[in-house]
Amino acid sequence: MHNSLLKKYIIIFLILLLNLSYCKSEKNLANFGFGVEKKHQNIIIYLNAGIFTLRDQKIDKEIFEKILNQIESEIRNLTSIEIKPIFDQPQDSVFIIENVLKRKTNPDIHSQMKDNSYTFLNPFLVEDVKNYQKYFLSSSMNQYLFRQVNYDIIIIPYPLLIDFSYSNKFDKFYSRYIEIGFAKGRTTLDQLGIIVFLDYSNPDSSENVNRLKTAFISFILGINPDYLINNSCNCSIHTSYEDILKTQNNCDQKKCSDFKNFIRMRNQLLHLYYLNNKGLLTKNCDKIGKFNQNLEFYLKFTHLDLYLQNLFKKNFENLKKKCNL
């Protein structure tokens, strides 16, 4: 009798263990897209933005909240997506970044910094020996972005100095104001994050407004910010092609059409994220199949580095697995 009872307990234990491992594997299949909600059929994205300062700097986060109020409607009109960001100011940004950089980092990020033209001020900040311009090292900040779990958008007070490439085709050092990278610990959208330089000495400048707008659009669309800055045809879904031509000389009909199609696909993908969050994905597997038919167009239009495109593909494959596709 005791043996029979023991066998029953063992069987129950094994069933519970199997269910637990199944739940874990199900969770791992879609560890992204959790920041998407819907209200009256409109997509809303909740995200976190960190305002980083050095120890001799101060900036009021309300300034950036006011900038957001200026650009919120423009972002919504362009993308049909509403954003709900929370701005946060870490008390000791230097310590936080340095502490994260001590942990296991992304082995695909290798700094090419061997140039005597720059002096290291700390593990992530360098200074040009000629003009004393300070830069945040792209490799260090991408390592931080990869490992940290708090922020989707990281605002920094100096430009980025590009000293690495995901593709390992590094040619030369150059500065950049906005960069998109792998944020492994963030589950808001695509496990991507944005690093953006804003001038704290002139916080409400038009340059800051445009950079912050580009950073938010780049994040919610999962698109390379360089493309938005240099080549974008900002054609809203709700705007006619004729009206676009009146204001944008660089916008031809194909660019406008492609941009609109991409925005539609992005909204479809965010809807899939929402369905997955609510446990409704398996009842809408046909929507994944339709999106998959145009996946190559979608990826090409993001203009992301192939490394980041492959990250997206891996995540999307996990969504497909839920539907046995």
pLDDT higher than threshold 80 for residue 275: yes
pLDDT at position 147: 94
pLDDT at position 20: 44
Cβ-defined contacts of 283-290 (< 8 Å, 24+): 285/323, 285/324, 285/325, 288/319, 288/320, 288/323, 288/325, 289/323, 289/325
pLDDT higher than threshold 70 for residue 318: yes
pLDDT at position 28: 47
| Cα gap 251→12, rounded to integer Å | 64
Quote the mean pLDDT of the chain.
86
pLDDT at position 116: 82
Count: domains in the chain = 1
Average pLDDT value for residue range 231-256? 62
Instruction: Note down the domain range covering 118.
Output: 28-322
**Residue 13 belongs to some domain of the structure:** no
The pair of structure tokens assigned to 302 is 């993001």
Window from 11-15, 126-130, 216-220, 283-287 with minimum mean pLDDT: 11-15
| Cα gap 192→137, rounded to integer Å | 18
Q: What is the pLDDT of residues 258-272, one digit of tens each?
A: 888 999 999 999 999
| Cα gap 106→99, rounded to integer Å | 15
pLDDT level of residue 15 (50, 70, 90 thresholds): very low
> Is the CB of residue 297 less than 8 Å from the CB of residue 259?
no
Average pLDDT value for residue range 162-173? 82
Instruction: Tell me, letter by letter, the H, E, C secondary structure of the chain.
Output: CHHHHHHHHHHHHHHHHHHHHHHHHHHHCCCCCCCEEEECCEEEEEEEEEECCCCCCCCCHHHHHHHHHHHHHHHHHHHCEEEEEEEECCCCHHHHHHHHHCCCCCCCCCCCCCCCCEEECCCCEEEECCCCCEEEEHHHHHHHHHHCCCCCEEEECCCEEECCCCCCCCCCCEEECEEEEECCCCCCCCCEEEEEECCCCCCCCHHHHHHHHHHHHHHHHCCCHHHHHHCCCCCCCCCCHHHHHHHCCCCCHHHHHHHHHHHHHHHHHHHHHHHHHCCCHHHHHHHHHHHHHCHHHHHHHHCCCHHHHHHHHHHHHHHHHHCCC
pLDDT at position 309: 96
Name residue, tokens 């109020």. 69
| Cα gap 81→19, rounded to integer Å | 37
Higher-pLDDT residue of 305 and 4 is 305
> Is the CB of residue 294 less than 8 Å from the CB of residue 265?
yes
pLDDT higher than threshold 50 for residue 100: yes
**Residue 15 belongs to some domain of the structure:** no
**Residue 294 belongs to some domain of the structure:** yes
Average pLDDT value for residue range 287-298? 95
| Cα gap 44→84, rounded to integer Å | 7
pLDDT higher than threshold 50 for residue 323: yes
pLDDT higher than threshold 50 for residue 27: no
Inter-helix orientation angle 253-277/306-322, to 10°: 50
pLDDT at position 165: 86
pLDDT level of residue 93 (50, 70, 90 thresholds): very high
> Is the CB of residue 313 less than 8 Å from the CB of residue 32?
no
pLDDT at position 242: 57
pLDDT at position 228: 86
**Residue 317 belongs to some domain of the structure:** yes
> Is the CB of residue 140 less than 8 Å from the CB of residue 111?
yes
Higher-pLDDT residue of 162 and 236 is 162
pLDDT level of residue 19 (50, 70, 90 thresholds): very low
**Residue 8 belongs to some domain of the structure:** no
pLDDT higher than threshold 80 for residue 198: yes
**Residue 139 belongs to some domain of the structure:** yes
pLDDT higher than threshold 70 for residue 23: no
Average pLDDT value for residue range 120-145? 95
**Residue 10 belongs to some domain of the structure:** no
pLDDT level of residue 167 (50, 70, 90 thresholds): confident
Window from 161-175, 208-222, 232-246, 308-322 with minimum mean pLDDT: 232-246
pLDDT level of residue 32 (50, 70, 90 thresholds): confident
**Residue 173 belongs to some domain of the structure:** yes
> Is the CB of residue 305 less than 8 Å from the CB of residue 167?
yes
The pair of structure tokens assigned to 321 is 């697995």
Average pLDDT value for residue range 166-185? 88
